[in-house]
Amino acid sequence: MNWLDAVQWDAQGLVPVIAQEQATGDVLMFAWMNREALQKTAELGRAVYYSRSRGKLWFKGEESGHVQTVHEIRLDCDNDVVLLKVTQLGHEPGIACHTGRHSCFFQRYEADAQGGHWQAVEPVLKDPESIYK
């Protein structure tokens, strides 16, 4: 059996993917892959995702230069989520988020008298206007 056949693809032929920084354990981002993206990721050793909004492969860093080198590809116990252990390249520290932050998970829930709110807790490392032309 082909290793890609073990993945439980959803009805659209996609699988959710979490990118985790190998060195720190930080969760950098969540994205999707189709079969071709996962195959190319394994072949190239760099993250290739599937952009649902554009309907095509998305080579991480193709516009921004913020490439993810892939060290490990893991599959969860239900075979329906992929974890990539990566090194985020292109800026020090690495920028994974299109907002110019290290991680896409930069908002933290803060309880308050009104029931709570989301607070940005990671700085913008580079202005997104200067990243994307």
User: Cβ(94)–Cβ(36) under 8 Å?
Assistant: no
Q: Looking at the domain assignment, is residue 118 inside a domain?
A: no
Could you tell me the CATH number of the domain that includes residue 45?
3.10.20.810
Q: Is residue 129 part of a domain?
A: no
Question: So what's the pLDDT on residue 128?
Answer: 80
- Are the beta carbons of 57 and 51 closer than 8 angstroms? yes
C-alpha span between 5 and 29 (Å, rounded): 25
User: Rounded to two decimals, what is the model's pTM?
Assistant: 0.88
Q: What is the pLDDT along the chain (133 residues), one digit of tens a residue?
A: 799 999 999 999 999 999 999 999 999 999 999 999 999 999 999 999 999 999 999 999 888 888 999 999 999 999 999 999 999 887 667 888 888 898 888 999 999 999 999 999 999 988 888 776 6
As for how many domains the chain has, the answer is 1
Q: Is residue 19 part of a domain?
A: yes
CA dist 15 and 50 (Å) reads 10
- What residue type is assigned to position 80 of the chain? D
For residue 108, is it within any domain? no
Q: Residue 62 has what pLDDT?
A: 85
Domain that holds residue 19: 3-94
Alpha-carbon torsion 93, 28, 58, 120, what sign? negative
